[in-house]
Amino acid sequence: MTVCIYSPSEKIWGGGQIYIDNLCGYLNRNGMEAVISTSEPDSFSSPTIRMPSVSSKRERLLKAPLLAKSLKTRGVEVIVLNDLSSLWLAPIFRFYGLKVVSLLHLYLQRKNKAGLGHGWLEFHMLRMASRFAHRVYSVNKDNQESFPVSVEFVGNFISPWFFSASGSDEKQYDVGLIARLSAQKNIPLFVKLLARLNDVSERPITGLIVGKGEEEALVRHEVERLGMQELIELRPWVDRQDLPSVYDQLRCFAITSHHEGFATTLLEAHARGIPAITTHSAGYCAEFVEGVDPVTGIAFDPLDVESETFVYDVIDLIENSGSYHEACRLKAEQFTEERVLGHIQAGIESLIGRRSTKAGE
């Protein structure tokens, strides 16, 4: 065994977990034996090793040395620490002789007005811990300005099957959002945007929210408060293989998050030919739709929802969404597994001083 990917998250399945599941599978298919260390092995399709629950920082701190010793006895050479929640353990794993790779999804920032981010002590602890990582990769470009060490932007990726999977030919919703219903995702902003669109549109503008989470009751309350019950449908999670069909029912995709890395859902929507609107605070998402040619959507600030100019721009995007189909797919095709995950594998190979033998070689 060469690589262990450390995943401390529990009761969460989102873009970060999908990312490392695919990374682990990619490494194994390309000659590098890898596993995911997790307390929820049944959540992943890749090889795993079970570890005790580490839901609290105290548990992570106390159990990290034991895990490091165990991995060394198994012959593991490299540990990949998934996101900011595990970066601060880098000094421990390095002390025990492991090569440390940090894979960041979220943006390291001081606590903002929405209450998201890190306090002073935690912020500087994470900056200090990054010095103990041999490589730091980030899905979010903003992290290149946040750390005292070199941070390599790798971005996100889309699997080839998502482009060709069978789907739906019928557009049922004008705007859709697929996300965990949490404070970070700022779903009430989506509801408010739909209400504003309907204030000025000549026809009803419909919305779809797919997801579950701790803020579901708040989201439903906002839908009712703004009188959007007949125009916004809420659905629970669907199986991943059914997602292409869900995207195909949308004219436009939306990300309203307070912060993101580089949302997997944005690439998935583009792979199905769907343009998007996204908050500027949603990491690389805003640059992806407006800064990577051609333009395939609109980036905005929450206050823009009050602007009639912005609202009419979104309606125009919805009504002309079909014209973006090919551009969206071509843009998504730039972010392949080989380009993104292959780059991470090459970095790991440089750390251990040998190249993996891929199948067929």
106: region left, alpha or beta (phi > 0 left; psi from -120 to 50 alpha): beta
Is the distance from CB of 198 to CB of 230 less than 8 angstroms?
Answer: no
CA–CA distance, 279 with 288 (Å, rounded to integer): 12
Residue-wise pLDDT for 40-51, tens only, equals 999 999 999 999
Residue-wise pLDDT for 101-144, tens only, equals 999 998 898 987 777 788 999 999 999 999 999 999 999 999 99
Q: Is the pTM of this model over 0.85?
A: yes
Domain with CATH 3.40.50.2000 in the chain: 3-157+336-352, 161-332
Residue 53: CA count within 13 A, CB half-sphere: 4
pLDDT given for residue 359 in this prediction: 52
Mean pLDDT over 143-155 rounds to 96
Q: Which CATH number fits domain 3-157+336-352: 3.30.200.20, 3.40.190.150, 3.40.50.2000, 3.40.50.360?
A: 3.40.50.2000
- The dotted CATH code for 161-332 is 3.40.50.2000
Residue-wise pLDDT for 285-317, tens only, equals 999 999 999 999 999 999 999 999 999 999 999
pLDDT given for residue 15 in this prediction: 79
- What mean pLDDT is reported for the chain? 94
- Residue 360 pLDDT greater than 70, yes or no: no
